[in-house]
Amino acid sequence: MGVFAPQRLESTNLSPEELTRYARHLALPLVGVEGQRRLKAASVLCIGTGGLGSPAALYLAAAGVGRIGLVDADTVELSNLQRQILHGTGDLGRKKVLSACDSLREVNPLVKVDLYDTQFRAGNAMGIAADYDVVLDGTDNFATRYLSNDICVFLKKPNIYGSILRFDGQCSVFAPHLGGPCYRCMLPEPPPAGSVPACAEGGVLGVLPGIIGTMQAIEAIKLILGIGEPLVGRLIHFDALKFKFREFQLRKDPRCPVCGEHPSITEPVDYDRFCRVPALQSRTEAGEGTLSVSALKAKLDAGERFLLLDVREPFEWDICHIPGAQLIPLGSLPLRMNELDRSGAIALLCKSGVRSAKALELLKGAGFTRLSNVEGGIAAWAREVDLEMARY
Amino acid sequence: MNLIINGEQRAVSGLQTLPELLEALALPADALLIEHNGLALLRDEWTARPLAEGDRIEFLRITAGG
């Protein structure tokens, strides 16, 4: 069973140049000329051109997948280059999709590359993914992973899942239409926002996505070729420190709201709400509870008495911090809040304003009253106030 | 009771069910995947799932980084 209608193969032939370029594939009994024609006739959508999307898209292009779609709204930043090998130093500040497209063209100019310089959202996801045979999830947050899962279930397309953090990676293929479970069967409820760190806070070994992303590319190619045993209903966990692989047997949940027997979710939902991602709007609407970085600068310059409490991790503090601030990482705050003066004014700061908003709620719940959240965090401070500050 | 947790033998006492084990190990349930004797458990199968001598338990925290 293939990922596209067999008729598509009839009009797909290989040129003499392609026969030479893909000679090592043609020599493989399970690929051959017919398999290579299948790859040429196929299309893969890579959601994200970051750590996972980079190696996956590069290898898919090199392998001769006929059409590759790239979705990413970000621009290339210096802290990306430790792992996102689609992008180079000369690409800093460029749109990631453009930089990625150049890299893929260099690897294989015969591949058609479609660019989506946009966030993958509930409103556009179905329209974008409908045009592809296989979806490769290289996103970096729970909300987009649920979105990617759901639309693949609706469209009956395999969703090749990979995720990384620190020294650990995970890979699976979610494909209820092939008899397997979906992401929601494995994880019906997202963890509370902020409880599972992202790579930006927890860190990630730069090589690790090279391993997981190429595993995803292998699964995409196997599905297109219809060979081997796809990673359906199985999740591979790779522990780089121990260099061990574990395999988890995943099961389909008959009561799954998306792929179960009586689905209650039949179209994309509000994923930020589902994952309780604090919305930018609700943070700014909090009014007196928020403080812009310019207002913070004015308070500091005026010598006002208040505590600037930085709730980031120590390694982030080492990269940059605002003089006079005190560091208590969010995770330690419940145990250490008795060090703080309950009657004093406290301005809370993190990288972007999300963790500090959580800290504010935590302190509010403990009876603190004179609290404010620094909007946009130290990232905004580095953009608007101290342009010399190191960014990450 | 001896259990094999993530491939390593561990002696635990005073507990009989999976939720009690999570509590004893101070493992938050958020984004946790559990395999019990080779069977990945659905969320609603955790509750009161009895444990027995020699059981193999594998834990994995689902992450979302990319």
Residue A250 is given by DSSP the state -
Residue A216 CA to its chain's centroid (Å): 14
The DSSP 8-state label assigned to residue A196 in this structure reads S
* Residue numbers in A near B35 (CB within 8 A): 248-249
Of B30, B39, B63, the CB nearest to A170: B63
Q: Give the closest-approach CA distance of A190 to chain B in angstroms.
A: 7
pTM for the model stands at 0.84
For A64-182, where are the alpha helices, taking DSSP H only? 96-107, 125-129, 142-155
Task: List the single residue in A187, A198, A251 with the smallest CB-CB distance to B65.
Answer: A198
Token pair recorded at residue A9 = 């193969």
In A, which residues are within 8 Å of B27 by CB distance?
A: none
Q: If you count DSSP H runs as helices and E runs as strands, how many of each does chain B have, helices first?
A: 1, 5
Task: Give the distance from CA A244 to its chain's centroid.
Answer: 24
Place of tokens 């621009």: A75
pLDDT of residue A288: 56
Please give the residue of chain A at the shortest CA–CA distance from B38: A249
Question: In degrees, to the nearest 5, what angle opens at C-alpha B60 toward C-alphas A205 and A129?
Answer: 75
| B59 interface with A at CB cutoff 8 Å | no
Asked if A170 and B66 come within 8 Å (Cβ–Cβ), the reply is no
Residue A67's CB is within 10 A of a number of other CB atoms, namely 18
SS3 B41: coil
A 10 A CB-CB count for A301 gives: 8
pLDDT (0 to 100) of residue B21? 94
Tokens of A322: 């605002």
For A126, the 3-state DSSP assignment is: helix
**What per-residue confidence (pLDDT) applies to A279?**
54
In this prediction, does ipTM exceed 0.90?
yes
Which residues of chain B carry a pLDDT beneath 50?
none
* Range list of β-strands (E), A128-203: 134-137, 159-165, 168-174
Contact residues, chain B, for A247 at CB < 8 Å: none
Radius of gyration from C-alpha coordinates of chain B: 12
Running along chain A, 392 residues long, what does each successive block of 10 average in pLDDT?
87 96 97 97 98 98 98 96 98 98 98 98 97 97 97 98 97 97 96 83 94 98 98 98 96 97 96 78 52 93 94 94 95 92 93 92 90 94 94 89
**Residues near A318 by Cβ (< 8 Å), separated by ≥ 6?**
none
The reply to whether B63 touches chain A by the CB within 8 Å rule is yes
CA distance B38 to chain A (A): 7
Which residues of A lie inside 8 Å of B (Cβ-Cβ)? 48, 50-53, 137-142, 145, 162-165, 168, 170, 185-192, 195-196, 198-199, 202, 204, 209, 235, 237, 246, 248-251, 253
DSSP A37-84: HHHHH-EEEEE--STTHHHHHHHHHHHT-SEEEEE---B--GGGTTT-
Picking from A139, A185, A251, the nearest residue to B66 by CB comes out as: A139
Is B65 in contact with A163 (Cβ distance < 8 A)? yes
Q: Give the per-residue pLDDT at A240.
A: 98
DSSP string for B10-26? EE--S--BHHHHHHHTT
- Contact, A51 vs B66, CB < 8 A? yes
> Among all residues of A, which ones are annotated catalytic?
199, 350
In the prediction, which pLDDT does A286 show? 42
